[in-house]
Structure 1
């Protein structure tokens, strides 16, 4: 799994050191990564073979001819780049990826389980604060829903 948050430097040649724990057979990323401009946030999304398989399965679940499928295909397949590691374990992002991801020299790689995101550091800090508030809200609301369901099962009302 892609775990943790790593602050990194993007050099002048757009090279980025991939954390050692991101370059594993379990991640499907031993020889390189796949990367594309994220659909859900202003960053890049990346991962190994499992990451690509998950998107393929999602896209394939949408009927052929559906405009949502066409949009997903163009955004995922049209933006996807296969990036190999150099001898130092770095990937080189294309100019288009750097531009679309809004990246500067200071980036953050955020593990999300079967994938990870690459953010501009300043943009990540803003997004992370929003995500924390949303996660806290989800924890409260989901906890309350579970409590009500538990009381209902026991016949205690709510």
Structure 2
């Protein structure tokens, strides 16, 4: 009996392979994938490689252009510079304090326990029950209105 040529269907790819088989293979019911992996064959086959491409990446020139446009729209540039410098100084100072606290033995572990306890209390107080979640949402919305000045 001669060798049977069968067609094996795979997601997004149909390849022909020659092999001796008792019965032809059935089409695969596997879901279609976004990648293609060619079947091994005795013949040389064309390999198809599909790669994902991002439609739009980060464009630094566009970012710089938008930032400079926003900076030109700012009326009080000296106040923004002072606030920015103050924020950087505050971050540096808080980093120094955290480093000093980390140097004290046992204090970081105690503070971790305090943070864990506060997290457990917050979950119990605001997230566990529906009425308290609604109260939290109302409080956050009220705070947003106070910050934006729409209240």
Q: TM-score range by the shorter chain?
A: under 0.3
- Give the number of the structure whose residues are more often strand, by fraction: 1
- Give the number of the structure whose residues are more often helix, by fraction: 2
Instruction: Give the TM-score, by structure 1 length.
Output: 0.23
